[in-house]
Structure 1
Amino acid sequence: MPNLLLVLADVVAVVLLTFALYLPRHRRRDLAVAYLGVNVGVLAVAAALSSSTVGAGLGLGLFGVLSIIRLRSSELSQREVAYYFSALALGLLGGLTVTTPAVSIAFMGLVVAVMYVGDHPRLLPRLRSQTVLLDRAINREDELAAHLADLVGGRVHSASVQRLDLVNDTTLVDVRYSVPSSRRRRSVDDDLAAPARESHASTALASRPAASLRTAALAATAPVTR
């Protein structure tokens, strides 16, 4: 018989994981449905088949089988895979009774807490990772790092060349970098935008009709009458 307290704890944990953590941060409704379905499905199967003799083996078997499932409809990032396995682990903890309910509930809280901290927007917010396809074949590391730093607008920590095509003159690079702070970026953007604003003002002044300019000049030179 499944422990109703564990079932209730699993429902609360997966709701927090999906609707309080994942959806506000990543906004993918389809994966939210997948996390709920995986959690409830694993919980139901584990609770129906668990016993004192096969409980641990069943849990490891379910975890191993479901871990090799690959969703081909869309590509999943490593962050979304972490949420996927968290939902799976919560279902197993709620369906299996190999430990006391207090220990299982504590592990559920640990899973949710780790995902909250590990995926928090304030945890290393300036670090980025991208796969960049350059329209140049660059085989020198120093030149490649300088070009990528100018391209991404940040400090390059590592650049791993995935493909160097000398025939088509392209370079595929996996780059890890950090962007400057928001205050510094705003000042740099203001410095870059100042010449554009001055050019726009000069263009607007030059495009004004000659009659309007003459009217403005006469108004400026006209005597003031009392």
Structure 2
Amino acid sequence: MDQLVLIGTDLVAVGVLTWTYFRRHRRRDLVVAFLGMNVGVLAVASTLASATIGAGLGLGLFGVLSIIRLRSTEVDQREVAYYFAALALGILGALPGEILWHSIAFMALLLLAVLVGDHPRVLRRHQRQELVLDGAVLDRVALVARLEGMLGARVHQVAVQRVDLVNDTTWVDVRYETVPPARRRGHVQAGREAARTTTTGTGS
């Protein structure tokens, strides 16, 4: 009876997880991946738990398969979190603990952590982009000022991935915080003035 309760809880939890992911990010292919992984782990782990083969071996095999799956296509860190949440929910639903509500509580905690962490209002002003800039920019101060003027944002971290002196381009990975509209115009102007001052000082 406890096993049926856990299986039902897992199916409800993965349904909520998958539906929320699809509403927020609209990737239909990963809906199939999340559901297939969860139900597959649930079925196989439940079988292994009552068989002579060790459940640890079976879960280890699923760990290897999950690594292969993640390497076979491009997924970002947000999707990795959903992917392993679906995996963990299947394991919790298949391997009941000594106290039933412990497993249910852990499922609820896992679901809450992923859904709240991925909520659009959580750290919504903080973003990351990879950009290709026109011009080979070697001065870091001028680079940050140019990015702030271009994005209208406060740059927190920038990593130069490539400077192409032949094609005159700069590839950067930038982490920034968007500025409220009321302050954006002044921030853009300040960034442009800083970039112009730095460029003039370097040229002289």
Distance between the aligned counterparts of 2:54 and 2:104, measured in 1?
17
Q: 1:131 to 1:4 in 2, by over 3 A?
A: same
Task: Give 1:89 deviation, angstroms.
Answer: 0.5
Distance between the aligned counterparts of 1:92 and 1:183, measured in 2?
49
Contact 1:39 1:91 in 2 (8 A): yes
Deviates more, 1:160-169 or 1:104-113: 160-169
Distance between the aligned counterparts of 1:165 and 1:90, measured in 2?
46
Distance between the aligned counterparts of 2:52 and 2:118, measured in 1?
37
Contact 2:155 2:176 in 1 (8 A): yes
Distance between the aligned counterparts of 1:23 and 1:2, measured in 2?
30
Which residue of the partner structure matches residue 9 of structure 1?
A: 9
Q: What per-residue deviation string (whole Å, max 9, x for no partner) do you get for residues 132-186 of structure 1?
A: 111211111101001111122211111001111222211110000011125555x
Larger Rg belongs to: 1
Deviates more, 1:56-65 or 1:30-39: 56-65
Contact 2:136 2:163 in 1 (8 A): yes
Q: 1:80 to 1:150 in 2, by over 3 A?
A: same
Distance between the aligned counterparts of 1:59 and 1:182, measured in 2?
53
Distance between the aligned counterparts of 1:181 and 1:99, measured in 2?
51
Which residue of the partner structure matches residue 120 of structure 1?
A: 119
Distance between the aligned counterparts of 1:162 and 1:56, measured in 2?
44
Distance between the aligned counterparts of 1:65 and 1:90, measured in 2?
17
1:63-212 to 2 correspondence within 5 Å?
Answer: 63-71=62-70, 74-182=73-181, 184=183, 188=185
Task: Give 1:48 deviation, angstroms.
Answer: 1.0
Contact 1:131 1:172 in 2 (8 A): yes
Which residue of the partner structure matches residue 60 of structure 2?
A: 61
Q: CA RMSD in A?
A: 2.3
Task: Give 1:101 deviation, angstroms.
Answer: 2.2
TM-score by length of 2: 0.82
Unpaired segments ≥5 residues, structure 2: 186-204
Q: What per-residue deviation string (whole Å, max 9, x for no partner) do you get for residues 101-150 of structure 1?
A: 22111111011000121001111110010011112111111010011111
Which residue of the partner structure matches residue 45 of structure 2?
A: 46
Contact 1:52 1:98 in 2 (8 A): no
Q: 1:142 to 1:3 in 2, by over 3 A?
A: same
Task: Give 1:66 deviation, angstroms.
Answer: 2.9
Contact 2:163 2:170 in 1 (8 A): yes
Size of the aligned set, in residue pairs, is: 185
Q: 1:182 to 1:100 in 2, by over 3 A?
A: farther
Distance between the aligned counterparts of 1:183 and 1:113, measured in 2?
34
Which residue of the partner structure matches residue 200 of structure 1?
A: none
Task: Give 1:88 deviation, angstroms.
Answer: 0.5
TM-score by length of 1: 0.74
Which residue of the partner structure matches residue 224 of structure 1?
A: none
Q: 1:72 to 1:54 in 2, by over 3 A?
A: closer
Q: 1:127 to 1:59 in 2, by over 3 A?
A: farther
Counterpart amino acid of residue 86 in structure 2? A
